[in-house]
Amino acid sequence: MNQTNFYVGRPDSVALDTLFRRYWCAKGWAHGVVSDAELAHAKMAGVMFDPANITHDNSVRLAIGMRQKLAPKAVANAFLASLSTRRLDLRSALGSYGAMLNLPAHNYEMGNGISCAVCGDYGASANFDVSVLNFERFKWGGVRHDQPTYEAFDLAWLCSRTIPEPTEGDLDIMRTMIDVLSSLPAAARPGDAEKAIADLFPSNTNERRILIGILGLAGVLIPRDLPTFWNGYPRISERKQPLNKNDWEYPAMWWRGADGVNREALNFWFPRL
């Protein structure tokens, strides 16, 4: 995976339509058919990509390189600018950067399955579909923020962009969101937090769920008694999972209203608040 392949300009609507039709339909995930001409245009626009041979070790190196290149302020500004504009592609990077804030340099370590025992990413993928990562980023704001392969892709894309300066309106949305989240009842769960912020900015339920997950990865909404990406780098075995199916990202899945908002992380990312 080479970061120089990532697009610098703004994706056009025709290319994005091709990207979405390739992976999504009214019933959900799909294997949509796009013409050779449409695919070529989407690639030219930097929205879709040729499959790539991905290795775990290279992804980790690229991700850490992006962390060294991007300032936390840039990532936070992109997140803030996404609130009023609904630019989910800008929102994603805070989750990726937050999840790898303390990512250690490491080689693939065999765990119980085929994923790395340290970070959970896969050892190697031949002909990996890079385009699906971009779809997830534009559709929801990303869903694989804790995987170095996605982190490298996500942050390399942002690094190539001119990041818009957040407006006072964006800052006001964030301030109100923090006030709302801080005042939830002690027993409130992530689903309650998602509903509580529903009217604060343009969004749907899935987008808000991802946003809550991003705030968890960034250390803003974290449980007090579990290891998080804010205070270290929890190995896969340390990321406690519920017995029942749960689609929330770790560690936000364990956050409760009693945990409140981590002001240290909030001030680190958003000092202007």
192: burial class by Cβ within 10 Å (0-12, 13-18, 19+)? middle
Q: If residue 53 lies in a helix (H) or strand (E), which one and from where to where?
A: strand 52-55
Per the DSSP assignment, residues forming a β-bridge with 191 are: none
Residue 56 contacts residue 246 (beta carbons within 8 Å)? no
How high is the pLDDT of residue 3?
35
Q: Which two tokens stand for residue 250?
A: 């770790």
pTM, two decimal places: 0.94
Neighbours of 105 (CB within 10 A): 9
| Domain segments of the chain as ranges | 168-269
52-111: per-residue pLDDT in tens? Answer: 999 999 999 999 999 999 999 999 999 999 999 999 999 999 999 999 999 999 999 998
Q: What is the DSSP letter of 4?
A: G
- Spatial neighbors of 20 by CB under 8 A, at least 6 apart, are 135, 138, 139
179-237: per-residue pLDDT in tens? Answer: 999 999 999 999 999 999 999 999 999 999 999 999 999 999 999 999 999 999 999 99
